[in-house]
């Protein structure tokens, strides 16, 4: 199946300037060669620690940040060369739900305006009555009511606000939606409701999702496939079942081990990672993970690992891992 969104070798380096004349001193390598693709009706979970560049990937795809290199294909067409009117038309088909439902809704706008203005901007509705109609319909779909049309964001709870944010993302009938940690600002009880809403909407409309989160339990709940990001690169990607059943990369293993388990009596060895993630300004040579890796070998210090497909033969979806442990002949 053709992917809805296809990201190829995305690179984004932020120059850090300093000194009197604003010379470029160093590069912050936020995203360093990320490739991913999401098909219709599929959710790709993107996990990683804070600072791993996962939000930058999302912002680059929507061109809120201009990527330095790489390509982004929306339904087979590159969107990096689009400008002005064409870019706005393409954006109708991609939307984003933001992390903080408080600051992603303009406090001076009513719900009707917040959710409805994409229609106004794109000239997709004939009259303000039609806009109100469609907004009311969408509010019901996300679990709010048409009574809420004339309210301001501060009159809602966090969960309700996130529902408004989701309704805004849906109004232009996009094909692809990015969720940037949509539940991390919410109570646990509300998180589950929002996640289920997100899943339901996908089942009904077949959206392609990129779900960005640092929370493995959330990602496990919602994703079909999962990609693990570390310091600007993908270290491992596989289907959900494959990743949780057979995690391969030492970093993924450490992440899984550090996730809280629902049973407190089940004591476990905490495979705690050594140290903090290195600064993306000074990326370690060779494998980026080697200074913290328990299995680091000589080769890891100077040679960047390639991507290896370690899925069992005949599997529909590849299990890709970037690690020297899985060189030819080292297969599990």
Partner 1 sequence: MAIATLRHHPRFRELGLTVKILGRNPLAVAGGIIITAMILLATFAPLLAPFDPIGISLSDRLKPPSGNHFFGTDEMGRDIFSRVLYGARISMVIGLMVVGIAGGLGTLIGATAGFIGGRIDNFIMRLMDVMLSFPSLVLAMALAAAMGPSLTSAVFAVTVVMIPKFARLVRGEALAVREMPYIAAARVSGAKNGWIILHHVIPNCISTVIVLGTLTLGDTILVAASLSFIGLGAQPPTPEWGAMISVGRKFLMDQWWYATFPGLFILVTVIGFNVLGDALRDVLDPRIRR
Residue 314 Cα distances to 41, 317, 318, 319, angstroms: 23, 9, 10, 12
Name the minimum Å distance from CB 21 to partner 1.
15
Q: Which is nearer to partner 1, 53 or 153 (CB)?
A: 153
Instruction: State in angstroms the smallest separation of the CB of 180 from partner 1.
Output: 9
Exposed e or buried b for every residue in 261-289, given b needs 16+ CB within 10 A?
A: eeeeeeeeeeeebeeebeebeebeebbbb
Six-digit token string for 326: 């899985």
If one counts every other C-beta atom within 10 angstroms of the C-beta of residue 3, the result is 19
Contacts of 86 (CB under 8 A, 6+ apart): none
Task: Tell me the closest approach of the beta carbon of residue 118 to partner 1, in angstroms.
Answer: 4
Q: What is the DSSP letter of 160?
A: H
Q: What is the CA radius of gyration of the chain?
A: 21
Segment contacting partner 1 by CB under 8 A, of 35-43, 57-65, 192-200, 294-302: 57-65
Minimum distance from CB of 315 to partner 1 (Å)? 35
C-alpha dihedral (62, 63, 67, 70), degrees to nearest 10: 50
Q: Taking CB under 8 A as the criterion, which residues in 183-222 touch partner 1? A: none
Residues that contact partner 1, how many (by CB under 8 A):
33
Does 173 participate in binding partner 1 (rule CB under 8 A)? no
- Asked whether the beta carbons of 258 and 271 are under 8 A apart, the reply is yes
Q: What is the DSSP letter of 177?
A: E
Cβ-based nearer residue to partner 1, 172 or 193: 172
Looking at 9, 23, 24, 89, which residue binds partner 1 (CB under 8 A)?
A: 89
Q: Does 86 bind partner 1 (CB under 8 A)?
A: no
Q: How many residues does the chain have?
A: 332
**Contacts (CB under 8 A) with partner 1, residues 91-150:** 91-92, 94-96, 98-100, 103-110, 113, 117-118, 121-122, 150
In whole angstroms, how close is the CB of 228 to partner 1 at the nearest point? 25
292 binds partner 1 (CB under 8 A): no
Binder of partner 1 out of 62, 80, 132, 257 (CB under 8 A): 62
Residues lying near partner 1 in the complex (CB under 8 A) are found at: 59, 62, 64, 88-89, 91-92, 94-96, 98-100, 103-110, 113, 117-118, 121-122, 150-152, 154, 165, 168, 172
């Amino acid at each position: 199946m053709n992917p809805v969104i296809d990201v190829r070798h995305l690179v984004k380096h932020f120059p850090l300037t300093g000194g009197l004349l604003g010379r470029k001193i160093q590069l912050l390598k936020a995203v360093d060669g990320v490739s991913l693709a999401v098909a219709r009706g599929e959710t790709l979970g993107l996990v990683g620690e804070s600072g791993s560049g996962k939000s930058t990937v999302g912002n680059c795809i929507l061109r809120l940040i201009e990527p330095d290199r790489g390509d982004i294909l929306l339904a087979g067409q590159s969107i990096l060369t689009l400008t002005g009117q064409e870019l706005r038309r393409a954006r109708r088909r991609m939307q984003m739900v933001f992390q903080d439902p408080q600051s992603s809704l303009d406090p001076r706008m009513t719900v009707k305006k917040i959710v409805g203005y994409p229609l106004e901007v794109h000239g997709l509705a004939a009259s303000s009555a039609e806009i109100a109609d469609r907004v009311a319909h969408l509010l019901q779909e996300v679990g709010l009511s048409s009574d809420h049309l004339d309210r301001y964001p501060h009159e809602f709870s966090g969960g309700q606000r996130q529902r408004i944010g989701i309704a805004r993302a849906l109004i232009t009938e996009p094909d692809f939606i990015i969720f940037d940690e949509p539940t991390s600002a919410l109570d646990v009880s509300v998180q589950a409701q929002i996640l289920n809403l997100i899943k339901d909407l996908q089942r009904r409309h077949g959206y392609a999702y990129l779900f960005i989160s640092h929370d493995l339990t959330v990602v496990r709940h919602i994703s079909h496939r999962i990609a693990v990001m570390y310091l600007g690169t993908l270290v491992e990607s596989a289907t959900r079942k494959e990743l949780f059943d057979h995690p391969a990369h030492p970093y993924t293993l450490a992440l899984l081990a550090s996730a809280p388990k629902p049973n407190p009596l089940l004591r476990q060895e905490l495979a705690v990672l050594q140290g903090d993630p290195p600064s993306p300004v000074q990326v370690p040579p060779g494998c980026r993970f080697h200074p913290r890796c328990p299995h680091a070998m000589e080769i890891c210090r100077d040679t960047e690992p390639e991507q290896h497909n370690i899925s069992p033969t005949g599997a529909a979806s590849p299990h890709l891992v970037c690690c020297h442990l899985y060189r030819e002949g080292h297969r599990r």
